Structure 1
Amino acid sequence: MPHPEPVARRMYDLVEPLGLVPYFADEPDEALLALGLGSVWDAYFAGRAAPFGREMPAEAVHAVFYSFAPGEVARHIPRVWQLTTPEAALAARERGCVAGMRRILGDRAEDPAIARAGDLLLTAAISAPVVGRALFAALRALPVPQEPVARLWHAATLLREHRGDGHNVALLAEGVGGTEAHVLHALSVDLPAKDFGRLGHLPEAQLTAVVDGMRARGLVGTDGWLTPAGRATKERVEALTDRLAEAPYNALSPGELDRLVAGLEPISAAFRAVFPM
């Protein structure tokens, strides 16, 4: 049922720390590298693109992932499928994520609250329509784990990618390209673009060209920071992302949503304490 107040931003704050486990915990990379992959970026692309199977070309993965610079995806896809299989990558990713979650949660991993939160979060996640959400739809087609920690992680990942698919729609609607999206985010938090993790490895000329293009559109000023128009663009992107992320939570009653929030708060806090957010 629709809720009287928007809940997507509040739920993002609670779900995102769980969804970051594949990227900030060591165990998922270790599990994927053990399959014979050559680097952590091999592990990233194999783990995240595995729901699409081995036949999806790099160009399509690039389109779905949206925010990588041209050519970055093609350095890993389809090469990683010469080293392992999507099925093995999916199993390793889940195994590593569960191990990382258990390490961070400690004794709380056996708390019945984990299962309760996972069940409610999964109810929300599987209720959302898949139309226009390619990565969410691919994940939605996978079997749901039964073990409580794995179930909680799976639900959080579904919701993170559901939101991410909507975020790409919002960026596209504003005419913000993939690399531009990282510049927009970095500058919105007063971080020079060259110091943002997903941009710092780019050749200086390539990053300069991206920023110059945003400057020509009035998003970045001569001082290198966002203009009022740039900040307004960022705010519209985030507002539309939130609106597009509301649908899953309409499957929960107000009481269920309250129980989910209360259950996730201490769980999420445990991850926020160890992840750089």
Structure 2
Amino acid sequence: MDTIARHLCRQLLEPIHLVAYMSEEPTEEINALGFEGYWPGYFAARSAPLGKAPAEVVDALFYNFAPGEVAACIPSVWDVTTPEAVLAARERGAVKALRRILGDLADSPELARAADVATKVAVNAPAAGRLLYAGLRSIPVPDEPVARIWHAATLLREHRGDGHTIALVAAGVDGQEAHVFQSIDWGMKPRDYGRLGPLTDDQLATVVNGLRARGLVDDSDRFTPAGRALKNQIESLTDTLAAPAYAILTPHEVDQLTADLTPIATRLEENGY
């Protein structure tokens, strides 16, 4: 089940969710509420399921943003609009983006069926310890199939993300260290990894040197055997924590959902998602 959870969420559902961050339409819809630039709308939309939560709460849940990034936008975004308005704008934009990218697939019976099955998984996942996922669960599920599949993908992406944070905390890896781990895993130098951009050179050096002192990263910014083992342990626990959501599916439903989602994920991949 761990492998099924990884494949369905990471390879097939997460690309659907990602249109909210990687397409112009959601940003345009959110900024039409009165925001400027990308990040205020991002933090508003992603934290909106929590209501007007303070920066300290949002920062704890988002986990891997650099110090001060969340507080630069939260709670001031709520002087501009409401969580409900932002959520509606994000959904409108995501649906527009998906319809543009998917074309005829958007109105196919396969997408509608996938939306129903993915929603069945998404609303029956265990919520304990998953606060961002739980917040999303409080939002009504859309009826329209494209909105419905995006909503389900978002629920399951944040459910997995909440579990990944649990795995990182259990491993003693903080948010910036997690970015260094990801950069190394992708064969990049930490300074070239975009999410580490807000850190100064001194701040980044402190993070990397801390991992070296723990025997996890070598002098060439590569994993030591212990570092690779810890990275694998984190990913394995993330899969394990995500797996119970998919236990509700029969083997036939797993096969059918995989078949229905594959052309959607392929179209999204062809367009850079």
Out of 155, 159, 162, the residue aligned to residue 158 of structure 1 is 155
Alignment partner of 1:72 out of 69, 72, 85: 69
Query: Which runs of structure 1 show a deviation greater than 6 angstroms over 4 or more consecutive aligned residues?
Result: none
Could you say what secondary structure the match of 2:86 adopts? helix
User: What is the alpha-carbon distance in structure 2 between the residues aligned to residue 191 and residue 95 of structure 1?
Assistant: 35
Q: What is the CA RMSD across the aligned residues, in angstroms? A: 1.1
Q: Shift of the alpha carbon at 1:113?
A: 1.1
Structure 2 residue 126 is matched with structure 1 residue 129: yes
The one-letter code matched in structure 2 to 1:130 is A
User: C-alpha displacement at 1:6, in angstroms?
Assistant: 3.4
**Contact in 1 for aligned 2:171/2:234 (Cα 8 Å):** yes
Deviations 1:238-258 (A, max 9, x none): 111011111111111111111
**Aligned pairs (5 A) from 1:1-277:** 6-11=3-8, 12-54=10-52, 56-275=53-272
Q: Distance in 1 between matches of 2:3 and 2:105?
A: 29
In structure 1, C-alpha distance between the alignment counterparts of 2:203 and 2:240, rounded to whole Å: 33
Percentage identity across paired residues of the two chains: 54
- Letter of the structure 2 residue corresponding to residue 223 of structure 1: S
In structure 2, C-alpha distance between the alignment counterparts of 1:233 and 1:99, rounded to whole Å: 40
Shift of 1:135: 0.3
What is the distance in 2 between the residues matched to 1:192 and 1:110? 43
Count of aligned residue pairs for this structure pair: 272
CA distance in 1, matches of 2:21, 2:6: 21
Unaligned runs of 5+ in 2: none
Letter in 2 for 1:20: L
TM-score normalised by length of structure 1: 0.96
Q: Which ranges in structure 1 are unaligned for 5 or more consecutive residues?
A: none
CA contact (8 A) 2:163 2:241 kept: yes
What displacement does 1:275 show? 2.3
Cα distance in 2 between the residues matched to 1:231 and 1:39: 37
AA partner of residue 208 (structure 1): A
